[in-house]
Structures are given as structure tokens and as C-alpha cells.
Structure 1
Amino acid sequence: MLTIDEWPARLASADMEEDRWPRVEDLNWEHDGDLSWLCCERLVEQVRADDVPLVCFEVFRDVGIAVVDGGTSFLRIEFCPNCGVLLPPRLRDEWFDRLEALGIDPGEDPLPEEFRSSRWWRDRPA
């Protein structure tokens, strides 16, 4: 199984759709410690654990179950597997839309600092 530290390198080598995937080296794959947007402490613990096949891409506010076939696929989950609560909506499409509105191609152009982590959605007005 891939750990969170192994995902960026694997994604960089994966055959991804070029026009819809950011440069992996530009994203912050580390959790900033604040996973309070997740519904329960048990899910937070599982996302941080190396022996549980849950992955969390905080920059996109996305959680899923890793497909343990050696690749980078994961099955996105919409409900917490522990408490059944509906998870917040993923922001991957919005991330791409906002960068496109700024004239930035995330597959080619350097990313602004705020789009390299969850800061782009955490710091926006409610």
C-alpha cells in the first residue's frame, strides 16, 4: 500500500489526463494538522494512519479508499465510513475553475502559493 509520502511520486509518474491535472511538485501533500473539516476523530486517525487504505487530498477536500493494486486510483467516498455523516463536497473542479479564471494552466504554469494547499478554500470568505 502507498503511504501519503509515496503518493506524490506515484502521481507524478502516472499516466494522467494532462489538461486536468496540476503539476504534482507544486502541491502540498502534507496535512497541515487541521483536518477539522472531517466529520469525526476516527476518520482523522484513519486518514493519518499508514496501515489504513484511506487517502485524503486536502487541497481538493477529497477523501477516498485507495485501490491497493500498486497504482494511484482511489474510490472517492461521500459518507464517513465510521459515523455515516455526509462529507463536505469535493472542491477539485472548483480549484481548476478558479485557476482557469486567473489564466493559469495548472499543468504548465507555476501555481500561486495559496493554491498549493488547502489555504485557497480555507481562507476564502464564507
Structure 2
Amino acid sequence: MRHCCTAMTRHLAHECQAHPDPYDCPDALAGFSAKFAEYGLIIHDGSRASSTIAYCPWCGARLPASQRDRWFDELERAGIDPWRDKVPPEFEDGRWMQGVSGDGWRRCGRLAVEWERLPSRPTSA
């Protein structure tokens, strides 16, 4: 996956011999969830928490909007409860967001869910 700058890429690729889990490593600063297309700054408080960010702290680029709400909406449309049901593997990484077909439906394995088309740029009022 390409990120906004080399500094972001470097921080997301950080590996520590003493702390295999980035949430345990005080030198790990940023995280990326492919599942939600979401960037965050790791909160080192003993949990697995992070604070979602909209801009890169190193280059200032606007980051893509989190798809967390849409992830839950798409699972609901498919009749899947992520708290009780087995979540399909394509929803555990970024694959669920790929492959818009020309008919406005996104194909995900056996699932077909309606694709929410967003304008590519703001419209003037």
C-alpha cells in the first residue's frame, strides 16, 4: 500500500525486536487499519487504542476518510452481525472496498452490496 509520504511509510513499517506488538512499543507512533482504511496515532496506555487522524503529522497531507462506518453498514446490508456472526475474510482487510462494477454494485466474493458513490470533488452551492 502507498502512503502519503516516506515518513508515514517508515513509521507504519516500524518493527521492534523487543516489542513485536506495536501497541507495546513506545517507538511505534502510527498505525493503519486496512480493514477501515484508517490512520491513527497509537495511544500507549496499555490498551490497543489509537486516535484516528485526518492529516499526516509528517507531511500535512489530507488522509483518506475512514471507512469504519461504511464497513459496519456494508456488513449490515449483507445480513452479517460482526459481533455474533463470522465476518468474511474480505472484510478483515481492504478487499471489501475494491472492485466497483459498472452497474453500481461492488462484488465481494459471494456478496454483492450496493456501492455508495461519492462525488470526486465538492460541488459549488
TM-score, with length taken from structure 2? 0.66
Query: Is the counterpart of residue 42 in structure 1 residue 7 in structure 2?
Result: yes
- 1:108-119 aligned at under 5 Å gives the runs 108-119=84-95
How far apart in 2 are the matches of 1:104 and 1:119?
17
Aligned residue identity for 1:40: C
Indicate the residue corresponding to 1:55 in structure 2: 31
Q: Tell me how many residue pairs correspond in the alignment.
A: 91
Between 1 and 2, higher relative CO (CA 8 Å, sep ≥ 6) is seen in 1
Q: Using the TM superposition, give the Cα deviation of residue 41 of structure 1 relative to its aligned residue in structure 2, in angstroms.
A: 2.2
Report which of the two has the higher share of helix: 1
Q: % of aligned pairs identical?
A: 34
Gaps of 5+ in 2: 16-26, 102-116, 118-125
Q: Which residue of 2 aligns with 1:94?
A: 70
RMSD, matched Cα: 1.6
Q: Which amino acid aligns with 2:4?
A: C
SS at match of 2:51: strand
The question of 1:124 aligning with 2:89 is answered no
Q: Bigger radius of gyration, 1 or 2?
A: 2
Residues in 2 aligned to 1:75 and 1:94: alpha-carbon distance in whole angstroms: 18
| Structure 1 residues not aligned, in runs of 5+ | 1-34
Match of 2:43 in 1: 67
Instruction: Find runs of 4+ consecutive structure 1 residues off by over 4 angstroms.
Output: none
Matched, 1:76 2:21: no
